[in-house]
Amino acid sequence: MVLINCDVTVLIAEHVDIDSMVPLMLCSKTIYQLVRGHERSIVKTKIAQLVHDPMFRPPLGALLSSYAPDQPGLGRKILEPMSFAVAKELESRDRRINRLFSSGCTSLRGYPLVETMKRLVLFQNIPSCQMERLIDGFKDACRVADRIADCAVIVHLEPKPTTGHLQNEESAIQHEIHLARQRYIRSLSPIRLAFLTLLASVTGMQFAQELPVSDSDPLCWERVIAFKETFLRHGTVVVCALLCPSDSETTTTSSSARTGNSAACHLPYARSDTARYYMSQVDEVLMELLEYEKGQWDSLRHAEHGADARPIPDSLHMTMLQAFPGPEEAEEMDQPPEDIGVEEEDADGNWLFNIDVLDYDKDHGDDNSSTESLIKPDPRESLILKWIMQR
């Protein structure tokens, strides 16, 4: 067998997806060893191709896998840094996000996520070019959600103090992961916070539509909040698994066949193991929410830790809502520097989220109207509206 040049082989490996690279590696032992020997450089190139924004780069070169049922406690395993598994996970996430916003991606009840977006009053009858831009913003928010989930990687991989409390206490590790995710959320720009909040709302609407007998469920609202929190903790895999499963993931097994909670507490069909796992995560968050509302967390916290009890942090959903600039901060940001206010395009054609769009009402208000509207758009929606109009 005639072998092609080694540099050409590595170049091919850098520019094909992982699934296509496997047959290449199986061509011969020489090619297999060559590609394996250049794994880190190949993965580095693939990350540069798939991740154009530094905010989304894999922390420490690693990612959380979409699902790992054999990992007790965590549920998702940490992929080896700069490995082919990391590149494959990035490719999988990219396909997953694109599938979420395709017209053919529907829930079991036939609701495409795009159609749910169009039902929002502010986005009805907008031009197709603005709808495309709106979808681009939602896709970016999906990548933000996945990166929030990956904050767990930093806590698990970074060296821990030899005398630190993180070594032997799983609850302390989860606490540090939560704080790391909060810090990442607070570092987001206003436009990304706006899109992330709206995406959580839209997926929450879809989740509520999927719940059977939701009107008679006294915990319906809390269940939707729990879903939003789970989405922020785990990313887009939750949305795909529970709301837009692929044909291979969908089964016809009724949820009433399951033991445990009533059918009203679950989606109408049992799907893949992945879907059942993430539905269990929603149930766990719901129990956390109910325990917090009953005041049980405070008593349990002091019973376990005494005077050293850690303060209870806000949920990720609450952190996201509170991180958005208030009216006073918006006024301060209303005077942007000269290089802000015009959207820039990077070398790959991706639009950067760096524009000032906090004066939508001022720019687009009705000059002929002397009566102030009684219903003002949410500042996040105003932000998004102006963003999709500036292209």
Mean pLDDT of all residues in 69-73: 52
Judge if pTM exceeds 0.85: no
> What number is the average pLDDT over the span 188-206?
94
Kindly report the CA angle at 48 between 44 and 54, in degrees rounded to 5? 110
CB 90 within 8 A of CB 80: no
84 near 40, Cβ under 8 Å? no
For the segment 307-313, the average pLDDT, to the nearest whole number, is 63
pLDDT at 243: 86
pLDDT of residue 120: 82
Check the CA dihedral 121-122-128-132 and report its sign: negative
Model pLDDT, residue 241 = 87
pLDDT of residue 69 exceeding 70: no
- pLDDT, mean over the chain: 77
Task: Please say whether the beta carbons of 91 and 180 come within 8 A.
Answer: no
The per-residue DSSP string of 109-129 comes to TS-BHHHHHHTSGGGTT--HH
Contact 154, 166 (CB under 8 A): no
By mean pLDDT, which of 123-137, 247-261, 275-289 is the weakest?
247-261
Predicted local distance difference test score (pLDDT) of residue 68 = 60
Q: What is the pLDDT of residue 291?
A: 83
Tens of pLDDT, residue by residue over 215-230, are 677 788 899 999 999 9
> What was the pLDDT predicted at 111?
60
- Residue 271: pLDDT band (50, 70, 90) is low
Radius of gyration over every alpha carbon of the chain, rounded to an integer in angstroms = 23
Q: How far is CA 348 from CA 49, 52, 286, in A?
A: 9, 8, 41
Q: Quick: pLDDT tens for 15-67.
A: 999 999 999 999 889 999 999 999 999 999 999 999 999 999 999 999 999 87
In this predicted model, what pLDDT tens digit does every residue of 317-371 receive, in sequence order?
999 999 998 755 554 544 443 333 333 334 333 434 443 333 434 444 444 443 3
Is the predicted pLDDT of residue 76 greater than 80, yes or no?
Answer: yes
Each residue of 130-180: pLDDT tens digit?
Answer: 989 999 999 999 999 999 999 999 999 987 665 455 555 778 888 899 999
Q: How many CB atoms lie within 10 A of CB 107?
A: 20
Residue with the two structure tokens 């445990």: 260
As a whole number, mean pLDDT of residues 370-381 equals 60
| pLDDT value at residue 266 | 57
What whole-number distance in Å separates Cα of residue 18 and Cα of residue 24?
10
Bridge partners of 254? 269
Highest mean pLDDT among 96-105, 195-204, 325-334: 195-204
N-term to C-term CA, the chain:
53
Give the other-Cβ count within 10 Å of 73's Cβ: 7
Other beta carbons less than 10 A from residue 218's beta carbon: 8
Higher model confidence: residue 196 or residue 161? 196
Higher pLDDT, 286 or 326: 286
Task: Give the Cα separation of 195 and 138 in Å (integer).
Answer: 6
